[in-house]
Amino acid sequence: MSALEIAAAVRAGERTARAVVEEHLSLIGVREPELHAFNLVTAEQALAAADAVDARVAAGEDPGPLAGVPIALKDNLCTTAIPTTCSSKILAGWKPPYDATVVERLAAAGAISLGKTNLDEFAMGSSTEHSAFGPSKNPHDITKVPGGSSGGSAVAVAAGFAPLALGSDTGGSIRQPAALCGVVGVKPTYGRVSRYGLVAFASSLDQIGPFAATVADAAALYEVIAGYDPRDSTSIPEALPPVRHRLDDGVAGLRVGLVTELCQAEGIAPDVVARVAAAAEALAAAGAKVEEVSVPAVIYGLSAYYLIAPAEASSNLARYDGVRYGLRVDAPTTAEMYDRTRTEGFGPEVLRRIMLGTYALSAGYYDAYYGKAQKVRTLIIRDFQAAYERFDVLISPTSPTTAFALGAKADPLAMYLNDICTIPSNLAGHPAMSVPFGVGADGLPVGVQVMANALDEVTMFQVAATLEGAMA
């Protein structure tokens, strides 16, 4: 059952939320040991929340648009009194005293959290192999990675553990695992979804977004979590145009640009490009006007991203120092305590990025690295703006390849290249989503990325819905 079907049945009193939750918990019981989608399954709390929803239905109240719908939360979203680990040893034992805004909104909409999902430590990675608690596995082939960093959330939806999940996307961390696991993954416009309660990786790029099995379910979740939040100063105050009732509007007359640079970039596999070409044909068949378009600056996105994101991360992750919460490795002096705590608490990828970022911000290097990367960012925005004068949406591969084998990308640079198609939208702050569109040569899912101009999620979802329909 889709999320929308579950909500309709629960609201109508045809199914109890408890039955829905029990069914999903039993699925988790079967496959979770081999997949490791979750860092923590909160079965007791989920059943209690389900009973509360059922009680409201019984009392004639409406528990909300996601009544009784199970959802999995990426473990970098703060949840009151439930451990929030970011898949890092350094947060050992920390239970937030507050809920993220999205967690509050989900509860208010009647959704039921099943637990916290695995990720690359502090969302830094593209495979979940950088989790301190071990990797998640791709449900389509457990020798393959599910992608990352929101791998656990993608797995949870792909395996049917929950119809919905939340992830966070800094350089592709929702879209890439969605593509690799064959589900829908959405990164909204920067500022559409409040970041309050999302443990920061790179503040100017981070954005929370939905995973779902269908475009309509993703749109429903998006409508619940998006919208202005005064607790996030970068939150967009403009009213949120509803998406769901526009999904069937089709693409007739829409101008769709196929981004040349993202189809020809280093490492993009031919079978993936073939699926994107097929998607372009499907859109043209549905009445869209499809053309190739050059967005030249996007090829510099990866380089700019690996200066900006680590720079912000080096500052955001400074607070994990052993003084107030999480891991503390005692030492004779405060400085040594900092050293030991951080050396033991962080994994190698996090340490690598802290070093990169610290270097990029250092006196004498700032202009050449961080400063220049910000200029590249401006160029990318400019080139996108030029493209959006001629096109309503842009499409490209989401990930250069289908899911790769666990351990295949031990070289950090090879891993970083996974995000080459997704990073530009983060740098520009634009919305982008991945929608499954068939399989590659190995029979594993391929995702097509649909990108849109800032705030134009509606058109983006319409195009994704059309692609989904073309595969049905």
Partner 1 sequence: MTTPAPRSAPNSSVLPEGWGMVIGLEVHCELATATKLFCGCPNHFGDQPNTNTCPTCLGLPGSLPVLNEHAVELAMRLGRALHCDVNRSVFSRKNYFYPDQPKDYQVTQYDLPTNLGGHLDLPSGHRIGITRAHIEEDTGKLNHVGGGGRIHDAEHSLVDYNRSGVPLVEIVSEADMRSSEQAKEYATELRAILLATGVSDAKMEEGSMRVDANVSVHHLGEPWGTRCEIKNLNSVRSLGRAIDHEALRQIDLLNNGETVRQETRHWDEASGRTGTLRVKEDADDYRYFPEPDLVPLVPSAADIARIDAALPVLPAARRSALADAAGVLATSGGVVVAVERGLDHLAQAAIRSGADAGRVLTHVEHNLAVDGAAALSPEGFGDLVKMETSGELTATQAKTVLAEMVATGGAPAAIAQARGFEALDGSALEGIIDGLIAAHAEEWEHFRNGDDKARGKLTGFFVGKVMQASNGQADGKAATALLRAKAGL
With binding defined as CB under 8 A, does residue 307 bind partner 1?
A: no
The whole-angstrom separation of Cα 394 and Cα 262 is 10
Q: Which CB sits closer to partner 1, 366 or 368?
A: 366
Phi, psi angle pair for 215, to nearest 5°: -65, -40
Task: Name the pairing type of β-strands 393-397 and 255-259.
Answer: parallel
With binding defined as CB under 8 A, does residue 306 bind partner 1?
A: no
Give Cα separations from 322 to 81, 269, 464 (angstroms): 20, 44, 45
Is residue 261 within 8 Å of residue 296, measured between CB atoms?
A: yes
Kindly state the smallest distance separating residue 363's Cβ from partner 1, in Å.
5
Q: Which CB sits closer to partner 1, 2 or 315?
A: 315
Q: Which CB sits closer to partner 1, 7 or 308?
A: 308
Kindly state the smallest distance separating residue 163's Cβ from partner 1, in Å.
25
Size of site (CB under 8 A) for partner 1? 44
The whole-angstrom separation of Cα 207 and Cα 190 is 6
Q: Which CB sits closer to partner 1, 260 or 315?
A: 315
Q: Which CB sits closer to partner 1, 208 or 288?
A: 208
Q: Which CB sits closer to partner 1, 62 or 366?
A: 366
With binding defined as CB under 8 A, does residue 321 bind partner 1?
A: yes
With binding defined as CB under 8 A, does residue 390 bind partner 1?
A: no
Site for partner 1 in 409-468 (CB under 8 A): none
Binding mask 12-41 for partner 1 (x = CB under 8 A): ------------------------------
Identified catalytic residue from 173, 235, 314, 396: 173
The whole-angstrom separation of Cα 2 and Cα 202 is 33
User: What DSSP designation does 440 have?
Assistant: -
Identified catalytic residue from 87, 149, 396, 425: 149
Kindly state the smallest distance separating residue 386's Cβ from partner 1, in Å.
25
Q: Which CB sits closer to partner 1, 325 or 381?
A: 325
With binding defined as CB under 8 A, does residue 324 bind partner 1?
A: yes
74 catalytic, yes or no? yes
Give Cα separations from 119 to 129, 166, 257 (angstroms): 8, 12, 32
With binding defined as CB under 8 A, does residue 338 bind partner 1?
A: yes
Give Cα separations from 351 to 53, 124, 342, 356, 460 (angstroms): 43, 10, 8, 9, 36
Site for partner 1 in 181-240 (CB under 8 A): 195-200, 202-204, 230-234
With binding defined as CB under 8 A, does residue 312 bind partner 1?
A: yes
Q: What b/e readout covers 57-92, taking b as 16+ CB neighbours within 10 angstroms?
A: beeeeebbbbbbbbbbbbbbbbbeebbbbbbbbbbe
Kindly state the smallest distance separating residue 30's Cβ from partner 1, in Å.
32
Residue from 68, 70, 96, 115 binding partner 1 (CB under 8 A):
96
Kindly state the smallest distance separating residue 338's Cβ from partner 1, in Å.
6
CA-closest candidate to residue 374, choices 205, 124, 260, 235: 205
Give every strand in the sheet of 207-212, ordered side by side: 38-41, 112-117, 70-74, 164-169, 207-212, 184-187, 432-439, 445-452, 393-397, 255-259, 289-293
With binding defined as CB under 8 A, does residue 143 bind partner 1?
A: no
Residue from 311, 380, 448, 452 binding partner 1 (CB under 8 A):
311
With binding defined as CB under 8 A, does residue 375 bind partner 1?
A: no
Q: Which CB sits closer to partner 1, 134 or 366?
A: 366
153 catalytic, yes or no? no
CA dihedral 258, 262, 267, 272 (to 10 degrees): -30
* Helix/strand/coil for 253: coil
With binding defined as CB under 8 A, does residue 80 bind partner 1?
A: no
User: What DSSP designation does 251 have?
Assistant: -
149 catalytic, yes or no? yes
Give residue 337's region: left, alpha or beta (phi > 0; psi -120 to 50): alpha
Helices 17-35, 43-58: crossing angle, 10 deg rounding: 160
* Helix/strand/coil for 71: strand
Chain residues binding partner 1 by CB under 8 A are 76-78, 84, 86, 91, 94, 96-98, 100, 195-200, 202-204, 230-234, 311-312, 314-315, 318-319, 321, 323-325, 334-335, 338, 358, 361-363, 366, 370
